[in-house]
Structure 1
Amino acid sequence: MKKFALIGAAGYIAPRHMQAIKHVEADLVAALDPNDSVGIIDSHFPDASFFTEFERFDRHIDKLRRAGEGVNYISICSPNYLHDSHMRFALRSGADAICEKPLVLNPWNIDGLLEVEKDTGRKVNTILQLRVHPAIVALKEKVKSTQNSKKYEVDLTYITSRGKWYLQSWKGDTKKSGGIASNIGVHFFDMLHFIFGDLQENIVHHMTDTKAAGYLEYESARVRWFLSVDIEDVPAEVRATGQRTFRSITVNGEEIEFSGGFTELHNRSYEEILAGRGFGLEENRTAIATVSHIRNATVVGLQGDYHPFLKEQ
């Protein structure tokens, strides 16, 4: 039975990792979070040791390693800006890392982690869950098998409304979260690269703390994208049904349906990682470079090929 530790046990995404650890019939032996509201652990691994201080967690993991009972994997669900440090800790503790998105905030952080991998002989795995979604895999195969002289026309719209707490949390601090493109969009940008090839152009049309939009051109696609955490951006007819989220991807005007099966994607990701088929550091480079550029780019405004939702801003 593989042994896991978890960093960031009190956050939104941590339960999916606990479920995935149980799904692959592994054991969670230790967890860390400065917040002690982690009763969810009892539903999965009630015998796991728990720490609110990193120093004590570090000592515990080291004692296990020295006793020949070290963990095989450390899953990382901490705030984005801590991912780099926590992956380094995992590798130096003799474990492989499983890190939530975004892997890091800047592409040069990947280079440093590659060095630590080389030094330790351990591996970083990342949760790029859309790469294992059946509908996305099918679209990738369709694009690969179809010889088109023209690039696909793609519109990506993702609105996941958040309350007033959002901007008061670390997620509202660009230095900690990387901004909205990193925080809610990076796995979509990875998906676009995964399906349509290398990125060739990256233009930002709009950028605020709560929404962003722009244009991306890949080998096989021209993409207009719009991301938001503002409920006012959810189309009125959708809001009228009580929904606070709107997600749409169209390819040449045809909607790609991939809303189902999201709750199982972490399980599938863990299966692939334990089988030695996890997505590593280099697989993340294009998406991380994309969001890093978006964060630092000059906003050009409403010119060129911009997303239709911007007309309503």
Structure 2
Amino acid sequence: MKKIALIGAAGYIAPRHMKAIKETGNQLVCGYDTNDSVGIIDSISPQSEFFTEFERFSDYAHTLKRQPETALDYVAVCSPNYLHKPHIAAGLRMGCDVICEKPLVPTADLLDELAELEKETGKRVWNILQLRHHGAILALKEKVASEARQEKHEVELTYITSRGKWYMESWKGDPRKSFGVATNIGVHFFDMLHFVFGKLEKNVLHYADDYKASGYLEYEKARVPWFLSIDANDLPESVVGKQPTYRSITCDGEEIEFSGGFTDLHTVSYQEILAGRGYGIEDARHCVETVDYIRSAPIETPASGEGHPFLQRLI
């Protein structure tokens, strides 16, 4: 049984980590968040300590470190994106491996800093790249790898996840803290595309504002127009009034069905990490570099065949 602490216990994604810790037979020893809306802990691990001040959380963790039988093994980081790097660093310096949500950090330079911290502390950083564990994505990767075709696959990525007015008032609506829509809701999709279709060869941005972004990515084995949005007005008519989210990935005109199974992917991720088979800093580098470029890329007019169909509504 591993002893795990959770930073960012009141966030949207934290319950999936709590569930994964429980389902893998490990112990949530303590949690930290500036917000005290963490009642869900009672249904998962009511005996866990909880702190709303980082200084008290850190002091408690270092006290546990004095005895091998109480020392923490892992720190899970689910805090706002801009705090990932300092919270990862704190976990490593506590003598723990760190499991962190996406995006690991915003730039490749910070990945290099994390690598230095791994060397200094002798501990590891693990990134949650959950789509790499999804059955449909693994099947697609195997199919693409087994083919002898020369032409690239024609792929289209669309992800619209409606958010209310609260979103722009939260840290997620502040690009200094979330790093923008493409990073916050797109980074794991870009990782998945690299995982399946190989090295990125072209990265073009066609549109970007606070609510949506669109562009074109070309990989070794695929051409991918993409569209990401948190605006409900972008939902296709077929789902308006029925569901707040629209997620679609097509490959050569065929829909890749991967809507189901998402709730268990964190548990699978934890199983792999605890077995030493998780994804580390270098695995995250490709998608971090992709979104880092998108944030500063110039807006370009789509070349023939490279614009996403939804882009026509915006330009």
Q: Unpaired runs of 5+ in structure 2?
A: none
Aligned residue identity for 1:173: D
Which residue number corresponds to residue 117 of structure 1?
118
SS state at 1:153 partner: strand
Distance in 1 (alpha carbons) for counterparts of 2:46 and 2:39: 9
Distance in 2 (alpha carbons) for counterparts of 1:95 and 1:223: 38
8 Å CA contact 1:155, 1:224 repeated in 2? yes
Which digits, 9 at most, give the CA deviation of each residue in 1:166-212, with x for residues without a partner? 11111111111010011000000000000000111100000000000
Distance in 2 (alpha carbons) for counterparts of 1:249 and 1:30: 38
Which residue number corresponds to residue 199 of structure 2?
198
Which residue number corresponds to residue 250 of structure 1?
250
| Segment of structure 1 superposing worse, 12-21 or 294-303 | 294-303
Identity of aligned pairs, percent?
A: 60
Distance in 1 (alpha carbons) for counterparts of 2:97 and 2:43: 25
8 Å CA contact 1:61, 1:71 repeated in 2? yes
Q: Unpaired runs of 5+ in structure 1?
A: none
Mapping for residues 175-194 of structure 1, pairs under 5 Å: 175-194=176-195
SS state at 1:299 partner: coil
TM-score with structure 1 setting the length: 0.98
Aligned residue identity for 1:83: H
Which digits, 9 at most, give the CA deviation of each residue in 1:132-164, with x for residues without a partner? 001100100100000111000100000000001
Which residue number corresponds to residue 39 of structure 1?
39
Which residue number corresponds to residue 228 of structure 1?
229
Question: Does 1:309 pair with 2:301?
Answer: no
Which digits, 9 at most, give the CA deviation of each residue in 1:210-268, with x for residues without a partner? 0000000101011000000000000012114x211100000011110011100000010
Which residue number corresponds to residue 6 of structure 1?
6
8 Å CA contact 1:135, 1:257 repeated in 2? yes
Distance in 1 (alpha carbons) for counterparts of 2:53 and 2:160: 35
Per-residue deviation, 1:303: 4.4
Distance in 2 (alpha carbons) for counterparts of 1:268 and 1:310: 35
Distance in 2 (alpha carbons) for counterparts of 1:237 and 1:28: 42
Which residue number corresponds to residue 263 of structure 2?
263
Distance in 2 (alpha carbons) for counterparts of 1:38 and 1:257: 33
SS state at 2:126 partner: strand
8 Å CA contact 1:216, 1:223 repeated in 2? yes
Distance in 1 (alpha carbons) for counterparts of 2:292 and 2:41: 34
When the two chains are superposed, the root-mean-square deviation of aligned CA atoms in Å is 0.8
Distance in 1 (alpha carbons) for counterparts of 2:247 and 2:94: 39
SS state at 2:243 partner: coil
SS state at 2:158 partner: strand
8 Å CA contact 1:205, 1:303 repeated in 2? no
Mapping for residues 1-313 of structure 1, pairs under 5 Å: 1-68=1-68, 69-240=70-241, 242-304=242-304, 305-313=306-314
Distance in 1 (alpha carbons) for counterparts of 2:42 and 2:139: 38
Distance in 1 (alpha carbons) for counterparts of 2:237 and 2:156: 19
Distance in 2 (alpha carbons) for counterparts of 1:194 and 1:104: 19
Distance in 1 (alpha carbons) for counterparts of 2:55 and 2:190: 35
Distance in 1 (alpha carbons) for counterparts of 2:71 and 2:163: 39
Aligned residue identity for 2:308: H
SS state at 2:182 partner: helix
Aligned residue identity for 2:154: E
Per-residue deviation, 1:270: 0.4
Report the number of matched residues.
Answer: 312
Aligned residue identity for 2:183: S
Which digits, 9 at most, give the CA deviation of each residue in 1:259-299, with x for residues without a partner? 11000000100000111101000000010000010001001
Distance in 2 (alpha carbons) for counterparts of 1:37 and 1:255: 39
SS state at 1:154 partner: strand
8 Å CA contact 1:178, 1:295 repeated in 2? yes
Per-residue deviation, 1:67: 2.7
